Amino acid sequence: MDYEVNFRAGEYLVPREKWEVPHLMEHVVLGANEKFKKARLFQAEFEKNGAYTNAHTSVVSVGYEAECADFEWDRILDMLLLSVSKPLFLREEFKAEFGNIKDELVARSNNHFRTLAISMNEAQGLLAMTDRERLKMMKNVRRKDLIEHYERTHTTRNMRFIIAGELKGREAKIRKALESVQLPQGAERFSLPNELPLHLSRPAFIARASVKNVYFGINTFALKRFSNPDMDALEMVNTMLTATLHSRILGEARERGLVYSMDSGVDVARSHTGWWFGAQVMVKNAPALFEIIARELKRVRSGDISSKDLDAAKQYLLGRHQRSGQTVGGTMAGYGGRYFFDEVINNYHAIPERIRAVSRERITKVTKRMFSDKIGGLGVLTTSPSRRELAEHLNDQIQPLWSSK
């Protein structure tokens, strides 16, 4: 069985100088509680049959998750709900987790893709803070801040959950456990943050002395929250461009020996839709890779999409969708993003037909739409300020995507 209990309780709900409050809070919530007076005692009992528990914090949400063997599903559900509803916020555990999170943030700051992505989000006016800044801000956090944030956000009206696994014959017991959780009702669920991204005419540039190649990210935004058919089309063209070793950008780049791998993805927020591309590439190969990226984006935007490419992308997405539901965790993940975001429960069985329905015309329309608001930009992380000229050259290669029709 898999569980996630989710609250809209992320960093956007605290002052910037208290940014680390939600993260520290979720660490301490999974510690000592009304029944277990130390975090280690709780974890020992929780994990004795191999169960797993963790928590995560984002700009929007705090989630508490668990996975366990089927035979102890009810015990683990009860323990997860106990930890969420009856934490003690012990002073000694606050101090311990304060130190643990410092170590975690130092480790995260060594992730160059993460550093670049956060720096780009900050530069484009989105809610974000680099790990180095977060370390500096930690001095502002007090134990009482965690308790106040917990009491404000951990209410039944602000709580959502997903439970996945064998549910037959268990519904009544699950319902009773959830309805018995001892949390206040609270006010209505918090509204999503309203972020408005900005265009970067010049690249965001980060220098790291130890990095000899080039990490880059490209973001583009539409000031519109896309419908399901439009998101399906955007996922489709994203697949056509980078998802496989025969895709139009990554496939050619690999064939020419320019880059080992490349990632891209789509995101939807309260009032905008985002599309990003990223990779690390050798300095000498970067201009050639950017030439491929700009050319292929212009091609799909103009409707130059072959039936072969479209059919291959559909076949890939159909197989990936089926594979994603082959585990309990995969099934839960398929519902979680959209449900926790805007409370829409995806119809899992309708997704294959949605994939098949994507047309060349809709792909062309949404690709144009992703550049028509002329909001995007480039971020580069590399060895030293002396590479800024390269970053400017790469930026010049892609800026026409937002300036041309």
Count of Cβ atoms closer than 10 Å to residue 237 Cβ: 29
Average pLDDT over residues 9-24: 97
Residues 153 and 233 in one domain: no
Residues 308 and 399 in one domain: yes
Residues 172 and 210 in one domain: no
Residue 40 CB burial class (10 angstroms; 0-12, 13-18, ≥19): exposed
Average pLDDT over residues 124-134: 95
Is 199 within the bounds of a domain?
A: no
Give how far Cα 145 sits from Cα of 45, 82, 246, Å.
29, 21, 51
Domain count, the chain: 2
Average pLDDT over residues 393-397: 97
Is 187 within the bounds of a domain?
A: no
Assess whether pLDDT exceeds 90 at residue 404: no
| Rg of the Cα atoms in the chain | 23
Average pLDDT over residues 379-383: 95
Residues 132 and 229 in one domain: no
Nearest to 393 by CA among 237, 286, 236: 286
- Average pLDDT of the chain, as a whole number: 95
Query: According to the model, what pLDDT value does residue 385 have?
Result: 81
Residues 214 and 175 in one domain: no
Is 190 within the bounds of a domain?
A: no
* Least reliable range by pLDDT among 27-31, 95-99, 329-333: 329-333
Crossing angle between the packed helical segments 286-301 and 388-398, to the nearest 10 degrees: 20
Average pLDDT over residues 114-126: 96
3-state class (DSSP) for residue 125: coil
Give how far Cα 247 sits from Cα of 47, 243, 255, 368, Å.
43, 6, 11, 20
Residues 168 and 263 in one domain: no
Output 209 or 58, whichever has higher pLDDT.
58
Is 110 within the bounds of a domain?
A: yes
Nearest to 121 by CA among 209, 57, 62, 59: 59
Average pLDDT over residues 356-373: 97
Query: According to the model, what pLDDT value does residue 386 have?
Result: 80
pLDDT digits (tens, 9 = 90+) for 275-291: 999 999 999 999 999 99
Give the span between the Cα atoms of 123 and 351, in whole angstroms.
Answer: 35
Is 185 within the bounds of a domain?
A: no
The CATH number of whichever domain residue 367 belongs to comes to 3.30.830.10
Average pLDDT over residues 306-321: 94
Query: According to the model, what pLDDT value does residue 175 have?
Result: 95
Query: According to the model, what pLDDT value does residue 38 have?
Result: 96
Assess whether pLDDT exceeds 70 at residue 113: yes
Assess whether pLDDT exceeds 90 at residue 141: yes
Task: Tell me which residue range forms the domain holding 347.
Answer: 204-403
Helix (H) or strand (E) holding 214: strand 214-222
Assess whether pLDDT exceeds 80 at residue 405: no
Is 195 within the bounds of a domain?
A: no
Is 74 within the bounds of a domain?
A: yes
Output 343 or 153, whichever has higher pLDDT.
153
pLDDT digits (tens, 9 = 90+) for 223-254: 999 999 999 999 999 999 999 888 999 999 99
Residues 233 and 169 in one domain: no
Assess whether pLDDT exceeds 90 at residue 309: yes
Query: According to the model, what pLDDT value does residue 342 have?
Result: 87
Average pLDDT over residues 375-387: 92
Is 186 within the bounds of a domain?
A: no
Query: According to the model, what pLDDT value does residue 360 have?
Result: 96
pLDDT digits (tens, 9 = 90+) for 157-190: 999 999 999 999 999 999 999 999 999 999 899 9
Residues 126 and 39 in one domain: yes
